[in-house]
Amino acid sequence: MFNTNNPMQGGNIKEYYKNFYNQNKLIVILMAISLVAMLIAGDNFLHILYNVYLIYFGGFLLKQQLGEQKMLSTFILSATVGFGIFAINYSELIMTPISISSFIGAGAIGLLAAAATYLPNMEIVLVLFGKVKIKWVAIVLIGLDLMSIMTQGQEYRISNIGGAGFGYLSMMMMKQRAGAEFVNPLSGLFSKKPKFSSSVNDSYSKNTTQQQNDEQYNQQKKVEQQEIDVILEKVRQKGYEGLNKEEKQKLFDRSKEL
């Protein structure tokens, strides 16, 4: 489950935010640039807050899993694709402030769509709904964009569809290129799973666990976690493309467990 550190823990809020900035400079800079740009464009305050938060949330997840380079390229390319679709459909609005919102909004929702595609079953905590899988959050937000496209003054939302589409497809293609088994976040959305599957899987899991010696099992998990930590550190330093095929496969296998 996705968690951020609580700034109240340790009692030093200033130190917490200082550490957060030092570890996530690129995300903070991206949020600041987007905030200033949308303020200059005279965008709606709630829409500004919404986009800035999506950049923080989706950007943080992608950075943790795939590194800063992949996070930044996903934002820029999602924004570019979304803006291109906006420009084709609303060429008369290209030179207006709304074009700025369309560019940033497409990049922001692209980050969320990419994160939801890469880790579809990761759970986040929403204030009113409790634990929710990230793929459902993405589907709902993109669905709202689809329903709002034809509303007067909401033309920029068509760029969000383009940005989200790019974020989704880029993660699909990345997984397929890596030779990993791809788990489609939309799988099961319109089909029912057999009722017996859950009980069969649970029974198999219990039987497998019972057959393992506790010490061997714990040692195995410890070794696996150490390998993942090494891979994540390599991603942080060299980016996702710096991994070899075996390391990419291990990272994908780990992501499916989340």
Domain boundaries, the chain: 13-177, 195-257
What's the chain's average pLDDT? Answer: 77
Strongest mean pLDDT among 95-109, 118-132, 194-208, 243-257: 95-109
Please check the confidence at residue 159 and state whether its pLDDT lies above 60: yes
Per-residue pLDDT, averaged over 212-217, amounts to 63
Classify residue 125 by its DSSP letter.
E
Please check the confidence at residue 78 and state whether its pLDDT lies above 50: yes
Per-residue pLDDT, averaged over 69-86, amounts to 93
Q: Which amino acid is at 57?
A: F
pLDDT tens, position by position, 116-155: 999 888 888 877 778 888 899 999 999 888 888 767 666 6
Per-residue pLDDT, averaged over 193-207, amounts to 48
Per-residue pLDDT at 190: 45
Please check the confidence at residue 4 and state whether its pLDDT lies above 50: no
Report the range of poorest mean pLDDT among 29-38, 58-67, 202-211. Answer: 202-211
The tokens describing 12, both together, are 């030093």
Please check the confidence at residue 181 and state whether its pLDDT lies above 90: no
Buried b (16+ CB within 10 A) or exposed e, 19-47: ebeeebeebbebbeebbebbeebebeeee
Per-residue pLDDT at 210: 56
Please check the confidence at residue 221 and state whether its pLDDT lies above 60: yes
Please check the confidence at residue 41 and state whether its pLDDT lies above 90: no
Determine what percent of the chain is predicted with pLDDT higher than 90.
Answer: 29
Per-residue pLDDT at 9: 45
Q: How far is 155 from 106, CA to CA, in rounded Å?
A: 12
108 compared with 193, residue with greater pLDDT: 108
Instruction: Give the confidence band of 182 by pLDDT, cuts at 50, 70, 90.
Output: very low
Per-residue pLDDT, averaged over 167-173, amounts to 92
Strongest mean pLDDT among 129-133, 180-184, 194-198: 129-133
Question: Are residues 55 and 114 in contact, defined by beta-carbon separation less than 8 angstroms?
Answer: no
Please, which residues bridge with residue 123 across strands?
Answer: 133
16 compared with 115, residue with greater pLDDT: 115
Per-residue pLDDT, averaged over 210-226, amounts to 66
Per-residue pLDDT at 3: 46
Per-residue pLDDT at 195: 46
Per-residue pLDDT at 144: 87
Residue 75: CB partners within 8 Å, gap ≥ 6?
30, 55, 59, 107, 108, 110, 111
Q: How far is 114 from 55, CA to CA, in rounded Å?
A: 12
Q: How many CA atoms lie within 13 A of 6 on its CB side?
A: 4
**3-state SS assignment for residue 212:** coil
29 compared with 15, residue with greater pLDDT: 29
